[in-house]
Amino acid sequence: MTEKIYRECDSATFELKGNYLYIKYKAGSIVDLREANIQSRIILDLCQGKEFPFIIDFLDISVRIDDDARRFFANDGPHIHLRKAQAIVVNNIQNKLLVNFYIKHHKPKNPSKVFDNLEDALDWIKQFVAT
């Protein structure tokens, strides 16, 4: 049986890229607690119990994530134990404010850092990759 390494939902795509999970949000997405739960189930399915660092890509898009969903992503979701770290990539002020608020207010249990490009995010997560 071939392992599926790609999933999609209304708000994002998820791809297991060898040693990290890449999550790309879709333009105009609105993420509430219901959608956050869907994303968590996808992560659980893809990771199959193994921990990975996550790259979360908000480049060139605008999204809205409500407070319940942010709290869930930070500390309450069943996928949290699989997330070694999260590199969050943004390049517009709206998303940068949202992500900085998420990190400072919700205080994710895993190391979290904001980047403005994928290359720097990839460099940073190397320290969390199992060798």
Query: Each residue of 9-46: pLDDT tens digit?
Result: 999 999 999 899 999 999 999 999 999 999 999 999 99
Confidence of residue 3 (pLDDT cuts 50, 70, 90): low
Tell me if 62 sits within 8 A of 40, measured CB to CB.
no
Residue 1 within any structural domain of the chain? no
pLDDT band at 1 (very low <50, low <70, confident <90, very high): very low
Predicted TM-score (pTM) of this structure: 0.94
* Spatial strand order in the sheet of 83-89: 6-8, 12-16, 21-25, 52-57, 83-89, 112-115
Report the mean per-residue pLDDT for the chain: 93
The CA distance from 49 to 60, in Å, is 31
DSSP 8-state class, residue 114: E
* Number of structural domains the chain divides into: 1
**What's residue 39's pLDDT?**
97
Residue 89 sits in a domain whose CATH number is 3.30.750.24
In angstroms, the CA 90 to CA 114 distance is: 7
Q: Report the pLDDT averaged over residues 89-109.
A: 93
99: left (phi over 0), alpha (psi -120 to 50) or beta: alpha
The domain in which residue 57 lies consists of: 6-128
Q: Grade residue 131 by pLDDT with cuts at 50, 70 and 90.
A: low
